[in-house]
């Protein structure tokens, strides 16, 4: 394609109904390589995105109320049903949360638009939530009204350019739940890991492309062709193409071909072991996983892992990586999805992190038995963990009859169970 045509397409991408920041011609004109568009193909990067996104998708969100008796399950509301049952007509909560987390990790920020209408007579108060929609982060621009043009000086607004229709929308910060990565210089916008580790991820991508090319060649190295005499450029190209087609590729592996007298093919030595190719590739993978907070066993590196420490690594993943993510999600959801009256009355949303800490059946049964026998869970609560129905009389806490309050320790040795004189 000529330079003129490239510039023309780049200009069309800039002056169209909306700016297509994914246009190949525009990216080339701006000097941006296609590494960013291929980065998702790097296996370690993809695995880390998959692990974090699926973890957010598999954790159920619960709706509670904090009461004087402790935290209890609250009666469902319209908003809680959207967040936990069906956000919109085409998505499940698992799909929505995993989509938001993937956008958040890949672009640094994830957004959910809350479509709702305020009820008559309650302007600035109660509202009716209609549905929830995750927005593609690459088409969202966060604006701060420094001059008070929109009537709210210092407030944030979210501009969304619909990639399908080309229409532009502007939302208030109260209408958008904004999730970000931990790395944020200004506290407003998050920075993705791929920007921080651009060199490392790019190198890992190049090594993957090298291996792909090697497989395409049938794991054969390049060859030096020695011939007697002199050949013009045209004949030399034809001779090179002839033997390249006959020797390269998996279909030609182990193939025997005749070589004319005076022509000799010498393979160029290619020793991946001497170049420490696989050691460097493994090291890059661990660096990328570490930046995401992913443990080695989660990217299928079991060199120093066993069944026991794999379970420990899963717990460390929850504590070191997901606990911050979950707290950040819960704070944003509680701030944006709850009504002021609900916040005042102690209502809250909380993810159930125990969903990724499920043990084997034997260990689970032992833990539940201990909890029931020591009055931590009722029998029905324990049955609920096993997806069994409640039974009559199962809502009473049970403890060992030999247990006594700590304030009465020693009194059982006194006469009549009283004080030193046998009296209470």
Highest mean pLDDT among 20-24, 130-134, 401-405: 130-134
Q: Which residue reads 């069309």 in tokens?
A: 12
Q: Does some domain include residue 132?
A: no
In the chain, % helix, strand, coil (3-state, to 5) comes to 45, 15, 35
What is the mean predicted confidence (pLDDT) over 226-240? 69
Q: Which of 327, 321, 316, 382 has the alpha carbon at shortest distance from 350? A: 327
What distance separates the 2 farthest-apart alpha carbons in the chain?
123
Pairwise CA distance, residues 126 & 240, whole Å: 76
Give the C-alpha distances (Å, rounded to integers) separating 349 from 104, 192, 327, 328.
20, 26, 11, 12
What domain range is 400 assigned to? 359-424
CA distance 380 to 397: 10
Among 259, 278, 297, give the residue marking a domain's end: 278
Is residue 324 within 8 Å of residue 182, measured between CB atoms?
yes
CA-to-CA distance for 52 and 54, rounded, in angstroms? 6
Within a domain: 16: yes
Residue 251 confidence class, pLDDT cut points 50, 70, 90:
low
Please give the DSSP secondary-structure letter assigned to residue 270: -
Q: Write the DSSP symbol of residue 365.
A: H
Is a pLDDT exceeding 70 seen at residue 226? no
pLDDT given for residue 100 in this prediction: 95
Q: How many domains does the chain have?
A: 3
> Based on C-alpha coordinates, what's the Rg of the chain?
32
In this structure, is residue 21 part of a structural domain? yes
How far apart are alpha carbons 419 and 424 in whole angstroms?
Answer: 6
Q: Mean pLDDT over all residues of the chain? A: 77
Binned at pLDDT 50, 70 and 90, residue 402 comes out as: confident
State mean pLDDT over 205-233. Answer: 63
Q: Are 137 and 104 in contact (CB under 8 A)?
A: yes
- Residue 395, φ and ψ in degrees, nearest 5: -100, 15
Asked whether the predicted pLDDT for residue 254 surpasses 80, the reply is: no
Q: Report if residue 27 sits inside a domain.
A: yes
226-240, 261-275, 329-343: which has the highest mean pLDDT? Answer: 329-343
Query: 82: which 2 tokens?
Result: 């959207």
Whole-angstrom Cα distance, residue 241 to residue 245? 6
Q: What is the mean pLDDT of residues 359-367?
A: 76
Q: Is 141 a domain residue? A: no
Asked if the structure places residue 273 within a domain, the reply is: yes
C-beta of residue 35 within 8 angstroms of C-beta of residue 204: no
| Tens digits of residue pLDDT in 53-110 | 999 999 999 999 998 888 888 999 999 999 999 999 999 999 999 999 999 999 999 9
Buried b (16+ CB within 10 A) or exposed e, 143-164: eeeeeeeeeeeeebbbebbeee
Q: What is the DSSP letter of 42?
A: S
Residue 55 within a domain: no
**3-state SS, residue 359:** coil
Q: Is the pTM of this model over 0.75?
A: no
- Of 278, 304, 325, the last residue of a domain is 278
| 300-355 residue pLDDT tens | 776 666 655 666 777 888 888 899 999 999 999 999 999 888 999 999 999 988 87
Are 197 and 288 in contact by the 8 Å Cβ rule? The answer is yes
List of residues 6+ apart from 137 with CB closer than 8 A: 103, 104, 106, 107, 108, 109, 110, 111
Q: Which of 163, 132, 158, 161 is nearest to 144 (CA)?
A: 158
Q: Which of 260, 278, 296 is the last residue of a domain?
A: 278
In a domain, 69, yes or no: no
Angle between helices 323-337 and 43-58 (to 10 degrees): 50
Give the rounded percent of residues in the chain with a pLDDT score beyond 90: 28
Q: CB of 98 within 8 A of CB of 57?
A: yes
Query: Would you give the end-to-end CA distance of the chain in angstroms?
Result: 101
């Amino acid at each position: 394609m000529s330079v003129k045509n490239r510039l023309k397409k780049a200009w069309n991408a800039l002056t169209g109904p909306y700016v297509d920041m994914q246009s190949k011609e525009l990216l080339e004109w701006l000097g941006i390589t296609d590494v960013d568009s291929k980065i998702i193909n790097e296996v370690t990067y993809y695995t880390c995105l998959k692990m974090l996104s699926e973890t957010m998708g598999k954790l159920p969100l619960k709706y509670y109320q904090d009461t004087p008796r402790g935290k209890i399950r609250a009666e469902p509301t319209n908003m809680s049903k959207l967040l936990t049952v069906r956000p919109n007509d085409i998505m499940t909560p698992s799909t929505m949360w995993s989509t938001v987390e993937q956008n958040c990790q890949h672009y640094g920020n994830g957004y959910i638009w809350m479509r709702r209408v305020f009820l008559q007579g309650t302007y600035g108060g109660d509202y009716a939530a209609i549905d929830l929609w995750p927005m593609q982060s690459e088409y969202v621009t966060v604006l701060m009204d420094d001059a008070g043009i929109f009537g709210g000086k210092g407030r944030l607004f979210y501009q969304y350019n619909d990639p399908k229709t080309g229409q532009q929308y502007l939302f208030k910060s109260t209408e958008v739940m904004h999730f970000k990565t931990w790395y944020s210089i200004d506290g407003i916008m998050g920075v993705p890991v791929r920007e921080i580790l651009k060199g490392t991820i790019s190198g890992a991508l190049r090594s993957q492309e090298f291996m792909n090319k090697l497989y395409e060649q049938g794991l054969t190295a390049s060859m030096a062709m020695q011939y007697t005499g002199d050949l013009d450029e045209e004949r030399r190209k034809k001779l090179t193409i002839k033997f390249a087609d006959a020797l390269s590729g998996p279909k030609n592996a182990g193939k025997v071909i005749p070589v004319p007298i005076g022509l000799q093919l010498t393979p160029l030595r290619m020793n991946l072991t001497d170049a420490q190719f696989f050691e460097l590739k493994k090291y890059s993978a661990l660096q990328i996983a570490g930046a995401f907070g992913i443990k080695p066993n989660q990217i299928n590196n079991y060199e120093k892992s066993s069944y026991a420490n794999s379970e420990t690594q899963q717990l460390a993943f929850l504590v070191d990586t997901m606990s911050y993510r979950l707290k950040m999600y819960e704070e944003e959801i509680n701030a944006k999805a709850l009504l002021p009256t609900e916040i005042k009355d102690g209502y809250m949303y909380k993810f159930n992190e125990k969903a990724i800490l499920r043990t084997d059946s034997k260990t689970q049964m032992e833990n539940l038995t201990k909890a029931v026998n020591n009055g931590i869970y009722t029998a029905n609560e324990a049955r609920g963990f096993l997806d069994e129905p409640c039974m009559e009389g199962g809502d009473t806490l049970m403890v060992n009859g030999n247990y006594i309050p700590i304030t009465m320790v020693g009194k059982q040795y006194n006469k009549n169970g009283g004080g030193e004189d046998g009296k209470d």
